[in-house]
Amino acid sequence: MQRLLVFFTALILPLSAFSAQPNVIVILADDLGWSDTTLYGNTAYHQTPNVERLAKRGMTFSRAYSASPLCSPTRSALLTGQSPARTGITVPNCHVPQIVLEATTGKKAPADQKAIQPNPVTRLKTEYRTIAETLKDAGYATAHFGKWHLGPEPYSPLQQGFDVDLPHTPGPGPAGSYVAPWKFPNFKEKSPNEHIEDRMAAEAVAWMEQQKDKPFYMNYWMFSVHAPFDAKKANIEKHRSRMDPKDAQRSPTYAAMIQSMDDAIGTLLDALDRLKLADNTIIIFTADNGGNMYNEIDGTTPTSNRPLRGGKATMFEGGIRVPGVVVWPGIAKAGSRSDAIIQSEDYYPTLLEGLTLKPAKGQRFDGASILPALKGDPLADKAVFQFFPHNPGVPDWLPPAVSVHRGDWKLIRIFHGGEKTAHRHLLFNLRDDLSEKNNLAAQKPELVAEFDAMIEKFLLATKAVVPAPNPAFDPAKYHPELEGKQQPKAKAKAPAKGKDDAVPALQGWKARDCKAQVKDGVLRITDIGDACFLGMSASKHSGPSTARFRIKAKAGTSHFDWLANGTEAKAHRADFTLKGGDWEDVTVQIPATGPLGIVRLYLPMQEQVIEIDWIEIQSSEGKPTRTEF
């Protein structure tokens, strides 16, 4: 009888172990280059032991690609399985106030450009079915932690299938700093100098603990390692002592940012192990685009993507080849590697097939399941496309372009970049020329024609709004030698009256990330970004003070802060809540212990105009400073 019981127990346990649907975690790093981790042997400076730990549990892809060389397009592609060419989200502008839901053909371009860029979309439409919505309908709990950048409400994660969203912000970065104090409107640090990635990982773990007895889908979309470039001081000094000035990767600040990113991954893995969920959890780890090669930190660029050419915002490999690891217990062999070509759009259909879920009626994907590759089989004739119809002006930039990869080959079509509005092409054999130094288009016209026909079919299938020839193009103003050279930032134009901080009507207040104009005695704020504020010097005020203002805006929470010595690192803040709908008088207590210095009134991001009648600052000593607009 005992032997029979042991037999049935052995039979039942494996079945029950696999009866529950696996959990799904998608870890998306921001601006993390292919050479930024130790996965591919291209860095001796950056340390990523937890990324390696992740790789030991699953399959590492050496040819994983983002849907775009910029972030928001890739984020939309990962969530929907559809190319940016189809959704029209082709630049990271989803935090701007203007709502644009359909891409349109551009109307004009400067005379030195051969193509007119299309007008891109600024929100991920809720009509697109996301992974979160599919898994939620299948009984999964869903949550999004970290960066979103696909639109504020009503286009936030809460309207795209997620039950939870922290810190619920539409912006492109970690609200001023990675190290607290942050400037998220409704999300405060729990301790001084708290790191946002530590906090996000802790919040994610707390949520997983609540869901441990049912299947869950979690986006952990990191703020790391996007600008602003700052990190824990101790980690910066640690990596400063390790820095080799001859190494192309030599920014101690960026190395410290990589460390915090890696630590957060370790926090998630530790939690899965502690909760005994690791054997039933799928983990996808990738990045939204290549490493940043155009900003400057520590006297150098944040990183180097060598041996790849270019970086973020370029169509060369450095802009689109990204780290890729998939952990899928029972499917992907632990510690395995693959050179199959995969892309952001592939993850959604892969999850559907692997979880035996059906797409919704009429749902379409531009990606395809990579389940065969995860099982160790080849992906025959797999091709991936990147559509980037813009002029970014960064090192190694190209004019508006689209590319295709298949096998060892890659073709880039530069829209109307040739003679008489014809397209221009760049063809590379990546097996022999990973750094894309030798354009073989002239030597292999038949291969160019074959691959360009694939591009044309792709553009037609996705109904892409493509660049148009520029009728105003002037060959005399065209400078092909500047292609690929970083373009200097244009000098700011003289401000239009009533729209800038120097306007007398603002009476010393300066507007940032918005437009400000005084009309009929009322300050009107428009084009409101996620970091919109009014700032001014209030050095004559000191000690406990009060800020009062009369405002008309939507309901919401924001804050008033002060910088005693004018530096971001020592900003203090006091929150306030707006009832919304009509004029209201708001009072904010400022528990300052010294001079207020610079004060800033942050305004909640919204589509409608914000109106301000007056602002007053009063300290315990001296006369109030009152601005009547």
pLDDT tens digits, one per residue of 522-554: 899 988 877 788 998 888 888 888 899 999 988
Looking at residue 10, its pLDDT comes to 41
CB-count exposure of residue 15 (10 Å: 0-12, 13-18, 19+)? exposed
Q: Are 121 and 72 in contact (CB under 8 A)?
A: no
Given pLDDT bands bounded at 50, 70 and 90, which one contains residue 237?
very high
pLDDT in tens, 163-215: 999 999 988 888 888 999 888 878 999 999 999 999 999 999 999 999 988 99
Which CATH number fits the domain that encloses residue 428? 3.30.1120.10
pLDDT score of 566 more than 80: no
Classify residue 421: in a domain, yes or no. yes
Give the angle subtended at the CA of 51 by the CAs of 41 and 33, to the nearest 5°.
60
| Gap between the Cα atoms of 131 and 21, Å rounded | 15
Looking at residue 503, its pLDDT comes to 64
My answer on whether 394 and 432 are in the same domain is yes
Which CATH number fits the domain that encloses residue 616? 2.60.120.260
* Measured CA distances, 40 to 74, 225, 307, 350, 520 (Å): 22, 18, 11, 24, 62
Classify residue 120: in a domain, yes or no. no
My answer on whether 191 and 235 are in the same domain is yes
Q: Are 237 and 298 in contact (CB under 8 A)?
A: no
Q: Across the chain, what does the average pLDDT equal? A: 90
Which CATH number fits the domain that encloses residue 219? 3.40.720.10
Q: Are 532 and 611 in contact (CB under 8 A)?
A: no
Classify residue 269: in a domain, yes or no. yes
Give phi and psi for 74, each to the nearest 5: -65, -40
Q: Looking at residues 569-589, what average pLDDT do you find?
A: 81
Looking at residue 571, its pLDDT comes to 66
Looking at residue 428, its pLDDT comes to 98
My answer on whether 359 and 289 are in the same domain is yes
Q: Are 315 and 391 in contact (CB under 8 A)?
A: no
Q: Which of 299-303, 351-355, 594-598 has the lowest mean pLDDT?
A: 594-598
My answer on whether 246 and 286 are in the same domain is yes
My answer on whether 562 and 467 are in the same domain is no
Exposure string of 482-521, with b = 16+ CB inside 10 Å and e = fewer, is eeeeeeeeeeeeeeeebbbeebeebeebbbebbbbbbeee
E strands in 128-168:
141-146, 164-166
Q: Which two tokens stand for residue 164?
A: 């939870």
My answer on whether 363 and 468 are in the same domain is no
Q: Which two tokens stand for residue 444?
A: 């292999």
pLDDT score of 426 more than 90: yes
Classify residue 498: in a domain, yes or no. no
Classify residue 487: in a domain, yes or no. no
Looking at residue 497, its pLDDT comes to 38
Q: Which two tokens stand for residue 50?
A: 């937890």
Q: Are 601 and 534 in contact (CB under 8 A)?
A: yes
Q: Spell out the residues 6+ positions from residue 1 whose beta carbon is closer than 8 angstroms to its own.
A: none
pLDDT in tens, 1-13: 444 444 344 444 3
Classify residue 494: in a domain, yes or no. no
Q: Which two tokens stand for residue 232?
A: 């824990």
Q: Which of 17-26, 132-141, 488-497 has the lowest mean pLDDT?
A: 488-497
Whether pTM > 0.75 for this model: the answer is: yes
- Which residue range(s) make up the domain with 530? 504-628
Q: Spell out the residues 6+ positions from residue 501 whose beta carbon is closer than 8 angstroms to its own.
A: 495, 509, 510, 511, 512, 516
The total domain count for the chain is: 3
Residue-wise DSSP of 510-522: EEESSEEEEETTE
Looking at residue 504, its pLDDT comes to 75
My answer on whether 317 and 429 are in the same domain is no
Looking at residue 19, its pLDDT comes to 45
Exposure string of 437-452, with b = 16+ CB inside 10 Å and e = fewer, is eeebbeeeeebbeebb
Q: Looking at residues 333-339, what average pLDDT do you find?
A: 97
Please list the alpha-helical segments (H only) found in 498-558.
Answer: none
Closest CA relative to residue 233, chosen from 253, 259, 262: 253
My answer on whether 515 and 462 are in the same domain is no
My answer on whether 517 and 478 are in the same domain is no
pLDDT score of 272 more than 90: yes
Last residue of a domain, one of 450, 482, 514: 482
Q: Helix or strand or coil: residue 558? A: strand
Q: Which residues pair with 558 in a beta bridge?
A: 576
CB-count exposure of residue 124 (10 Å: 0-12, 13-18, 19+)? buried
Q: Are 351 and 24 in contact (CB under 8 A)?
A: yes
Chain-centroid distance of CA 276 in Å reads: 31
Q: Helix or strand or coil: residue 419? A: helix
My answer on whether 214 and 291 are in the same domain is yes
Looking at residue 561, its pLDDT comes to 85
Give phi and psi for 100, each to the nearest 5: -125, 120
Q: How many residues does the chain have?
A: 629
DSSP letter, residue 582: S
pLDDT in tens, 278-328: 999 999 999 999 999 999 999 999 999 999 999 999 999 999 999 999 999
* Measured CA distances, 228 to 96, 295, 382, 517, 528 (Å): 18, 10, 37, 29, 20
Classify residue 219: in a domain, yes or no. yes
- Say how many C-beta atoms besides its own lie within 10 A of residue 119's C-beta: 16
Give the angle subtended at the CA of 242 by the CAs of 238 and 243, to the nearest 5°.
115
Give the angle subtended at the CA of 264 by the CAs of 262 and 265, to the nearest 5°.
65
My answer on whether 251 and 359 are in the same domain is yes
Bond into 154 cis (ω within 30): yes
More confident residue, 500 or 597: 597
* Measured CA distances, 269 to 146, 196, 201, 351, 506 (Å): 17, 18, 10, 20, 52
Q: Of all residues in the chain, what percent carry a pLDDT higher than 70?
A: 93
* Measured CA distances, 539 to 532, 534, 543, 566, 569 (Å): 22, 16, 11, 10, 18
Q: Residue 573 belongs to what H/E stretch? A: strand 571-578
Classify residue 110: in a domain, yes or no. no
Given pLDDT bands bounded at 50, 70 and 90, which one contains residue 578?
confident
More confident residue, 579 or 68: 68
My answer on whether 450 and 539 are in the same domain is no
Q: Are 222 and 147 in contact (CB under 8 A)?
A: yes
